[in-house]
Chain A
Amino acid sequence: MTPIAPPLPAGFVAFVKRDCPTCELVAPALAQLRGEVDLTVYTQDDVTFPEGLEPVDDTSLEVSWHCEIEVVPTLVRVGNDGVEQARVVGWHRPEWEELTGVVGIGGELPESRPGCGSLSVDPDIAPDLLVRFSGAKLRSRRVEIASFEDEMEALFDRGWTDGLPVIPPTERRVHAMLEGTTRSSDEIVAVAPPDLVECTVEKVAINAVMAGCRPEYLPVVIAAVEALCTDEFNIHGVLATTMPAGPVVIVNGPIRRAIGMNSDINVFGQGNRANLSIGRAVQLVIRNVGGGRPGAVDRATFGNPGKLSFCFPEDEEGSPWQPLSVDRGAVAGQNTVTVFAGEGPRNIVDQLSRDPESLAKSFAVNLRTLHHPKAVMAFDCLLAVSPEHARVFREASWSKEQLVERLHELLLIPGEELVRGAGGILEGLPEGVAGKMIPKFRPDGLLIVHCGGGAGLFSAMIGGWAAGAIGSQPVTREIQS
């Protein structure tokens, strides 16, 4: 959305405010310039300042905002077409002389003085100016909250929350959120299941505000929503299943650090705003825009606490291996999200293995139990390897491919152990599998990510949901700015 700026008068234009010592200082210089060039002065706070220069009232800050004035005084040279040609900020005599072509301006003034912050970028004021002048038209329905209603309760009452309070999505906050992306607010991000409605950047931004996101998280939320709303990921099925799966969002690339995500201690737990609010925003989009609500389309028997929010970054810097995103075809250094339909994480304890073969076997016996020791080829797994366990593989120079290959070998299970009735358990496969070796996971059904705190000889497995084309496949998407 391109804001329409008011035209500037030709010649020179100065922006000042009285509450700025440098502006007070340069008032005589402006008066001197006025005698030699066409000069128009816009004043931000006091229409009588500077005296005698007939300042133009910009106390609305409209002209300052449109001209992106960050510092006062700012002196701008404007062509006859009303378009800016050049500007100088603060007071520095040689720059003013070069810009204006007038020599000896403000002869009695010191050589230079830095300016002050423009009122149009004052943090208390700027969000309102954005709403007023940006020209970004928010199209969502305005919902009035009556004066006797408590605003937090009002949002619960309308069914918009996940069971925890949300931040009220005011126009001002949504405008500020939209500053986090270069995409237009009316751009369609995805067609959101289960209701199959077109979900705009604006709707994602509203739900991101409610979830507690900062604007710089918005591109991650948008990419995750795109990834969820694909036929491969099949969020409709993930919602509708009685199984406990929900979207798990894994973030790779430099943006993890840039927005302050946590891949370290308590990586799956509480305490980090970016991890939690991004995962929560994604779920709120599915709830509010897609219409996927527990008890309606969401039929989970148990669900899991991660369905409030389950989002974390990989610890790429400390990993012996290439990141998950690169395993999945992204370029190293690219910002991506990967979504995986997963249940809650389960801990794998092995404090004694110091060689990779022993540790791989430990992983395998635990992975065997995923969902049921007799459940094979049905569910994928996201295996999170901690730094202390990863060290064992690093010191033995085991690549990730080597570990995955070994796990697949160790998880070839004799059919006799899987059939109905084996072990005195009726659950199982038909008799026909007896005599065959059946793999626990499909060939690309094991995903490995490196994360977690530096102390603890643990890893964690996150069980998937119906694997492959009939259910949900992991999806990786680039995060666009």
Chain B
Amino acid sequence: MTTGIENQSSGVRVVLDPTSERRPAKRERVPRPTTLDGLTVGLLDISKARGDVFLDRLEEKILGAGAHVKRFRKPTFTKPAPVDLRQEIATQCDAVVEALAD
């Protein structure tokens, strides 16, 4: 009887990888803006309670810094943002702030 892992002639034992074998794709971050002046900042409400309170205050601050604001909202906080919404934010905004609140 073997102990379970095949003993091959090289003495190396082999098992099969149980994972997705996916290395996370390394993606370059877009350059960080040095100023918000004139940029469009997306504010994403994930639909958690009182996220809007936090984002309202943030909007005041960002408008004060000379940026434009666009507001977005996820249908539910329990699921990832739909692809269309992510696409909309990516094409319309230069930066995004996602609010988590409770």
List A contacts of B76 (CB < 8 A): 469-471
| CB contact between B18 and one of A160, A192, A466 (< 8 Å): that residue | A160
List B contacts of A195 (CB < 8 A): 20, 22
- Across chains A and B, the number of contacting residue pairs, with CB separation under 8 Å, is 98
| CB contact between B14 and one of A155, A170, A203 (< 8 Å): that residue | A170
Interface residue stretch chosen among B3-11, B26-34, B88-96: B3-11
Q: A289-B18, A289-B20 given as contacts; is B6 within 8 A of A172 (CB)?
A: yes
| CB contact between B4 and one of A124, A167, A234, A237 (< 8 Å): that residue | A167
Residue A146 is within 8 A (CB to CB) of chain B in the complex: yes
CB distance from B43 to the nearest CB of A (A): 21
CA distance A203 to B15 in the complex (A): 12
A-contacting residues, B50-80, CB 8 Å = 75-76, 78-80
Residue A291 is within 8 A (CB to CB) of chain B in the complex: yes
Q: Are A140 and B16 in contact (CB under 8 A)?
A: yes
Q: A170-B6, A195-B20 given as contacts; is B12 within 8 A of A471 (CB)?
A: no
Q: Are B79 and A170 in contact (CB under 8 A)?
A: no
List B contacts of A331 (CB < 8 A): none
List B contacts of A147 (CB < 8 A): 11-13
The secondary structure that dominates the B interface is loop
Q: A141-B21, A145-B5 given as contacts; is B15 within 8 A of A168 (CB)?
A: yes
List B contacts of A470 (CB < 8 A): 75-76, 78
Residue B17 is within 8 A (CB to CB) of chain A in the complex: yes
Residue B19 is within 8 A (CB to CB) of chain A in the complex: yes
Q: Are A197 and B20 in contact (CB under 8 A)?
A: yes
Annotate A276-314 by CB proximity to B: 1 below 8 A, 0 otherwise.
Answer: 000000001000111100000000000000000000000
CB distance from A437 to the nearest CB of B (A): 24
CA distance A206 to B18 in the complex (A): 6
List A contacts of B15 (CB < 8 A): 142-143, 145, 151, 155, 168-170
Q: Are A206 and B16 in contact (CB under 8 A)?
A: yes
CB distance from B95 to the nearest CB of A (A): 24
CA distance A192 to B19 in the complex (A): 11
Q: Are B20 and A171 in contact (CB under 8 A)?
A: no
Q: Are B5 and A140 in contact (CB under 8 A)?
A: no
List B contacts of A146 (CB < 8 A): 12
List A contacts of B21 (CB < 8 A): 140-141
B-contacting residues, A132-186, CB 8 Å = 138, 140-147, 151, 155, 160, 167-174
CB distance from A305 to the nearest CB of B (A): 22
Q: Which residue of A lies closest to B3 (CB)?
A: A151
Residue A210 is within 8 A (CB to CB) of chain B in the complex: yes
Q: A145-B5, A171-B6, A470-B76 given as contacts; is B16 within 8 A of A160 (CB)?
A: no
| CB contact between B19 and one of A151, A237, A240, A288 (< 8 Å): that residue | A288
Residue A118 is within 8 A (CB to CB) of chain B in the complex: no
List A contacts of B18 (CB < 8 A): 140, 160, 169, 203, 206-207, 210, 284, 288-289
List B contacts of A240 (CB < 8 A): 78
Q: Are A471 and B19 in contact (CB under 8 A)?
A: no
Q: A151-B5, A241-B78, A470-B78 given as contacts; is B17 within 8 A of A197 (CB)?
A: no
List B contacts of A199 (CB < 8 A): 20
CA distance A142 to B21 in the complex (A): 11
Residue A389 is within 8 A (CB to CB) of chain B in the complex: no
Q: Which residue of A lies closest to B47 (CB)?
A: A470
Q: Which residue of A lies closest to B17 (CB)?
A: A141
CA distance A236 to B79 in the complex (A): 7
Q: Which residue of A lies closest to B76 (CB)?
A: A470
CA distance A25 to B11 in the complex (A): 43
Q: A142-B14, A151-B13, A237-B78 given as contacts; is B6 within 8 A of A291 (CB)?
A: no
Task: For the complex of A and B, list the 7 residue pairs with the smallest distance between their C-beta atoms, beginning with the closest.
Answer: A237-B78, A141-B17, A197-B20, A140-B16, A470-B76, A288-B18, A145-B13
Q: Which residues of A contact B (CB under 8 A)?
A: 124, 138, 140-147, 151, 155, 160, 167-174, 192, 195, 197, 199, 203, 206-207, 210, 231, 234, 236-237, 240-241, 284, 288-291, 466, 469-472
Q: Which residues of B contact A (CB under 8 A)?
A: 1, 4-6, 11-22, 75-76, 78-80
Query: 11 more A-B contacts (CB under 8 A) besides A140-B16, A170-B4, A470-B76?
Result: A140-B17, A140-B21, A142-B14, A146-B12, A147-B11, A168-B15, A199-B20, A210-B18, A236-B79, A288-B18, A288-B19
Pairs A–B under 8 Å by Cβ, sample size 28: A141-B16, A141-B17, A142-B15, A143-B14, A143-B16, A144-B12, A145-B14, A147-B13, A169-B15, A170-B4, A170-B16, A173-B4, A195-B20, A197-B20, A203-B20, A206-B17, A207-B18, A210-B18, A236-B79, A237-B79, A284-B18, A288-B19, A289-B19, A290-B20, A291-B19, A291-B22, A471-B76, A472-B78
